[in-house]
Chains A and B, each alone.
Chain A
């Protein structure tokens, strides 16, 4: 293959490929095929959005964080408080949740992204713990330990009300996820997205080619926080409740696991990982909730030792083997 055709290949590499429409086909099929499981389906879609937001920060930019639940939780609470005190209109609630989370992301990012390594990890934990403590203490507005009750949501666009089978909720989440995906996909395939990969691969070199590293990191952190906040808002609106668990370390840990399980830094790892994790949790955690933790722990250890790219990484390796055999 000559160099010039490699240029053409490079220019085409970022365009949409047909296989990328597969998840949406599956999601639509699921709506019709798994009509009894739509509430679980909505949860899966929400977690995919949450994991996708984390992928921007962890997978692409390489920022190791155990505190992403902070933004999810802020979005959840903001949307809940908005619904209770201002208006039950869902779309503006989403906006409020996303905006609140993005502001928290911007402020905390500006402060903590100056650090790296263990210090940064600690700070992400500390910020989440801080917000969790604040939510607990401000019981008069957040409901404290009991959670925020009475979150009533109006019909979407005054036409689609939430039904008890979860049909509206599912389609609502699917629509939000789709729009978010369009945005994130464009972002990761843009020069900005590629520069994030550059920062992850070799930050020294990025500085030395004149890239404004800190500004890029803060930007992606803020965008990611906003998306996580929208996911949190979706959770509040579809379950009509917000509890302290949205700000827990367990929530941060679970979303990291979901992303790594699917494969970080490849956009669709979030789809694969979140789906598998949520389905497995739904089926297996019933059987033996204690040992759910054990298997997840073992899975993590095995992934790190043998399959660092997660499921999609394994799939890549298998495809490579198949191609070599030909």
Chain B
């Protein structure tokens, strides 16, 4: 099995505060992998380290076999890494269609073109449109993102990441705070992601996690507590203790 994403000894400190502690992590190609842990465990920090938003104090990051530790965010994205943010990070003053077009355009390499009109590359626009159809928000294509309710904005957030056609997709709490209608769309879309894409999902919704994941990693205080199949994780007393505060005696 090829490894799509790997971190070796990944660590990050802020003075005396350790937010990522010697993390050895492997994401297989085509994986359906969940990252869980209590609040403040460092899950989003891990994603920020992997994507390059935060630079590590130590360790290495390999994307599809290439060492990307020294590379900037945009280089990693161009090598197939895509992510969504825990809080909607969208171009609020632009239309839904344009939000996705920006991503599709960058991926197609036409984002920096100066002498064609923005709508001229029909293929880019059609591809963005198709993504909107898939997310079920095609009727809102021309509306400004800031006019949309939270749930629909979340769908745009995911559409943007999909527009990058990533080989490794990091979803940071994609369904959090989303009303049930959009929630179902999100779950469907995640379920139908191509088998070639390696997906890592950060989630608190255990039902979603156990339905979706083939492997689960538990992160506590910046370090990996354990990793395994859903069944192994569910049975482990340490995980229960971390989540429910139960003390096991004997």
Contacts and interface: CB of A to CB of B under 8 A. Distances in A.
A202 B98 CA distance: 13
Given A7-B126, A208-B83, A15 B117 contact: yes
A215 B115 CA distance: 17
A195 B160 CA distance: 14
A3 interface: yes
Given A11-B122, A15-B117, A207-B53, A201 B112 contact: no
Interface stretch (A99-107, A168-176, A186-194, A231-239): A186-194
A283 interface: no
Contact of B114 (A186, A212, A213): A186
A253 B204 CA distance: 51
A9 interface: yes
A207 B85 CA distance: 12
- How large, as a class, is the contact surface on chain B? 35 or more
B118 A191 contact: yes
Interface in B77-99: 77-78, 83, 85, 89-95, 97-98
B164 interface: yes
Interface stretch (B56-64, B137-145, B212-220): B137-145
A12 B164 contact: no
A3 B89 contact: no
A195 B110 CA distance: 11
Contact of A195 (B73, B77, B85, B112): B112
Given A10-B98, A10-B142, A190 B113 contact: yes
Interface in A193-226: 193-195, 197-198, 201-202, 204-213, 215-216
A209 B141 contact: no
A195 B98 contact: no
A268 B243 CA distance: 58
A305 interface: no
Interface string B60-75: 0000000000001111
B158 interface: no
Contacts of B113: 190-192
Interface stretch (B27-35, B101-109, B188-196): B101-109
B133 A3 contact: yes
A11 B125 contact: yes
Interface residues of A, number: 38
A115 B24 CA distance: 34
Which of B107, B122, B129 gathers most chain A CB within 10 Å?
A: B129
Given A6-B97, A11-B119, A195-B102, A202 B89 contact: yes
A7 B141 contact: yes
Nearest to B141: A6
A192 B139 contact: no
Contacts of B125: 7, 10-11
A194 B105 CA distance: 11
Contact of B142 (A1, A197, A212): A1
A13 interface: yes
B95 A191 contact: no
Contacts of A208: 51, 53, 73, 77, 83, 85, 89
B120 interface: yes
A12 B73 CA distance: 33
A210 B107 contact: yes
Nearest to A186: B115
Given A190-B117, A201-B94, A210 B89 contact: no
Which of B78, B92, B103, B164 gathers most chain A CB within 10 Å?
A: B103
B132 interface: yes
Nearest to B105: A191
Given A193-B118, A202-B89, A208-B89, A3 B138 contact: yes
A194 B77 contact: no
A212 B72 CA distance: 9
8 contacts: A15-B117, A190-B118, A191-B111, A194-B102, A197-B94, A202-B91, A208-B51, A210-B78
Given A10-B142, A205-B160, 12 more contacts: A1-B142, A12-B119, A190-B117, A192-B111, A193-B114, A195-B111, A195-B112, A198-B94, A204-B53, A208-B83, A208-B85, A211-B102
For the complex of A and B, 10 pairs with smallest distance between CB atoms: A210-B77, A11-B119, A3-B138, A6-B142, A201-B91, A14-B117, A6-B141, A209-B103, A192-B114, A207-B73
